Chain A
Amino acid sequence: VTLVGLSDDQEFFRQTTERFLAELVPPDTIRALRGDPAGFDPSYWRRGAELGWTSLLVDEERGGGTISGQGLVDLRLVAYEFGHHAAPGPLAVTNVVAAALGQQPTADEVLAALLSGEAVASWCMPVVTPDGWRPTVTAAGEGSGLVLHGTSRHVESAAQAGHLLVTCQDGDGTTQVLVPTSAPGLTITPMQTVELTRRFFVVDFDGVRVDSGATVGVRGGSADDVERQLQQYLVVLNAESVGAMQAGFDMTVEWAFDRYTFGRPLASYQALKHRFADMLSWLEGSHAISALSCAAAQQGRPDAPELVSAAKAYIGQYGAALLQDCVQLHGGIGVTFEHDLHLFLRRVTVDRALGGTPAVHRQRIAVLLDEQEGAAA
């Protein structure tokens, strides 16, 4: 049993993705993708989309569909396997955009291309802060359309995306627009990263004009949408990290049995056994809070923001600690490119930093607690 609480259908779905990733993106393939501009092969992504990777947050009547009726829970399983294989592809952002477009009567063609895997999309997301989040792009009305200014950083696969969902500050409100990456005034600059297969970009909006049909959701009234998108995004990141933690941990346990020093396996030293025990407790804590926060977000529970932040803070902190311990327990081989362990270290390193660091989410939890108490008082 890999994950608990899955139905037979969900387990079959998870296994299908697991086998697919093991076959198509083994560690050597991932290492070889280091120099690839996109970081993933389009046909790999299309085939993944056929398995349902991008459909889970979209209703059936819009061309999507879930395994269990709980799309985010199903997506968590894909994300877990992505982390477990350090798999390429903009899973989180493409799903967030697909989910947003699925709520929208227009932009059918863009949505259809995301669902079929013909295209990927990305999200120019707000910066997560202790008080919630803050867009870094502004929208202002001009004629019947909008003009965008500002800069969005760490935008995953922006150069590979046909469209970007941009969360904008619009006066006192929040507006989201769908912008083609070919729009005049929009420039995309690559960033550097420790990830081998994921690509991040700075997207500048210098007076980018979009017409009113580009608005996703209600102009000036999209704050709740953004909150939901953030939860979806963080659930995927967290599940990926848990998958990477499990892979790194299992690999290190094996190593502890195989590696002999002073005539004994590493696994026989109490000083190291106790570290494995600690790591397993962090790993199980991460599994537990990842699943719980996902279920809360899926159900739209009022405590979902708190639980998702708790998961991001916990998994971010202990996922990074666990992988660094795995490297330490491997010794010198753990810091070589030829070994596979660093693929998982890279995944948790990046996922920890995106969407708010553990410190930001800890403070977020405190603010939510304070708001809750204020409301109760």
Chain B
Amino acid sequence: VSVLRAEDDDGTLEDLDSFRHRARAYIRANLRPMAAEEMRWDRFGGSEELELAAIARDRELQRQLFDAGFAGLCFPREYGGQGLTPAHQRVFNEEIAGYEYPSRVQCPTLVPCAAVILEFGTEEQKRQHLPAILRGEELWMQFLSEPSGGSDVAGALTTAVRDGDQWVLNGSKVWTTGAWWSDWGLCLARTNWDVPKHRGLTVFMLPIHQSGIEVHRIEMLNGSREFCQEFITDVVVPDSDRVGDVDDGWTVGTRWMFHERMLFSSPYLTNPVGTTHGRMHSRDVYDIACAQGRTDDPSMRDLVGEARMLELVSNEVAKHVTESIRTGRLSDQAAAIVRLFKGTATARIMDLAYEAAGADGAAWTGDGASSQGAINWIMRAGGTVGGGTIEMARNVIAERVLSMPRERTLDRDVPFRDVPRGRPSGS
């Protein structure tokens, strides 16, 4: 593989056409054509072996891209990236569509974790981790949510106590996808309990596989075990692994969540054109109608049509809202509209599939279309809770898009220590 420089010696960037040709030639010669379906996260059927093999393959692919000069297109060259522009990443996303790519290195490793390190890391941290990430050697996880509260991220209870040049961490994090096969965690922890909640947080980086961290895999209602919970006990983190200033973790956290929200439009992410994220299952309803030989039944047609309708509108609403934000028609918080729309539409489509399945929603044979009716329905809240509940989205829409009065909170301007965190004892 010949490694071509994306930047000439005089510092001018490679033009998009030349880049496209180079990327196309490389991709066609070196990567396997592969349908998006084959790269889905949930295709392992519970086999750890298959999942680990897929992770190993992704690390290998990432390394291959790195060696060929196609990893981290928008990361600076001094940290192993290519120093190119978002336009180059878009071209790459077009060219790699339909081919195998390291999908499990993208989120959360590159976005938001690597993006946060790039923005807030020290020179030493960036040199240690960014090239390793771009070579596929480090997979990262977000140690953000906690069992004590999902939506209230700044209410983190995981505590870091300073001890000379190091910190001692205790607490628990949850909803990390695949922490059991990842290497590093970006962790939001409380360093000061005597100030209001947003002002006592600090961000740390820590290796996941060490004696003080116990990784527990969570079984979900559909049998999936992709999520994990970590129990952190007396884990020592050197101060040199702190990201951002002490007690200024919310500055980092705000940008962290910005990168997370940006995800699919982030220039740091390889996101092949045409990739669908978050399956809507509208097709399941039609497949069930076919399996039952009821495509001519008007009541079945009603279910099939409604599911398809919701998917068509849902796909367009994201583009429409993005354009509305760009032109100032809606506030930049309007992304919550898309979240609410997709959440409710996905849930409704699952209702329709469950309805279409009829008695097969109670018991079924084989793994045909009808089997999805009840399995997905049991896990229906995945789409209305995961990634931020639709109730939070409704608050954001009302308060930040429509400028309605904010909900009263009891945790502002008081030391976090004094904020009620549970039902008072004895009541």
A270 contacts B407, CB within 8 Å? Answer: yes
Task: Please judge, given known A-B contacts A273-B398, A277-B340, A281-B397, whether A363 and B316 are in contact too, CB under 8 Å.
Answer: no
The contact string, 1 if C-beta is below 8 Å from chain B, for chain A 234-253, is 00000000000000000001
User: A364: which B residues are within 8 A, CB to CB?
Assistant: 305
CA distance A281 to B404 in the complex (A): 16
Q: Is A278 an interface residue (CB 8 A)?
A: yes
One of B295, B310, B320, B395 near A288 (C-beta < 8 A): B320
- B102 nearest CB across to chain A (Å): 32
A4 x B302 contact (CB < 8 A): no
Q: Which residues of chain A from 339 to 377 have any CB-CB distance to chain B below 8 Å in the complex? A: 359, 361-367, 369-370, 373
Q: Which of B271-308 contact A (CB under 8 A)?
A: 286, 289-290, 295, 298, 300-302, 304-306, 308
Q: Are B309 and A362 in contact (CB under 8 A)?
A: yes
Q: Are B309 and A310 in contact (CB under 8 A)?
A: yes
Of B5-13, B154-162, B324-332, the one touching chain A:
B324-332
- Tell me which of B300, B393, B402 has the highest count of chain A C-beta atoms within 10 A of its own C-beta: B402
Given contact pairs A4-B320, A267-B404, A281-B397, A313 touches B306 in the complex (Cβ within 8 A): yes
Tell whether B245 is near chain A: CB-to-CB under 8 Å. no
B426 contacts the other chain (Cβ, under 8 Å)?
Answer: no
**Interface residue count for A (Cβ, 8 Å)?**
45
Query: For the complex, is B319 an interface residue (Cβ under 8 Å from A)?
Result: yes
Q: Is the CB of A285 within 8 A of B313?
A: yes
Could you say which residues of chain A place their CB within 8 Å of the CB of B341? 281, 284-285
The interface residues of chain A, by DSSP majority, are classed as helix
Specify which chain A residues have a CB less than 8 angstroms from the CB of B320 in the assembled complex: 4, 284, 287-288, 291-292
Name the residue of chain B whose CB is nearest to the CB of A249. B402
A-B pair number, CB within 8 angstroms: 143
Residues of chain B with a CB closer than 8 A to A291's CB: 316, 320
Number of interface residues of B (CB under 8 A): 46
CA distance A3 to B395 in the complex (A): 24
Q: Say yes or no: A370 contacts B295, CB within 8 Å.
A: yes
Contact A363 B323 (CB under 8 A): no
Give the nearest-CB partner of B342 in chain A: A281
Q: Are B302 and A366 in contact (CB under 8 A)?
A: yes
| Closest 4 pairs (CB-CB, A-B) | A362-B305, A273-B398, A288-B320, A366-B301
Q: List 24 A-B contacts (CB under 8 A).
A: A1-B324, A1-B328, A4-B329, A253-B402, A257-B404, A276-B402, A277-B337, A277-B340, A277-B395, A281-B340, A284-B337, A285-B341, A288-B321, A292-B316, A313-B305, A314-B313, A362-B301, A362-B304, A366-B295, A366-B304, A366-B308, A367-B301, A370-B295, A373-B286
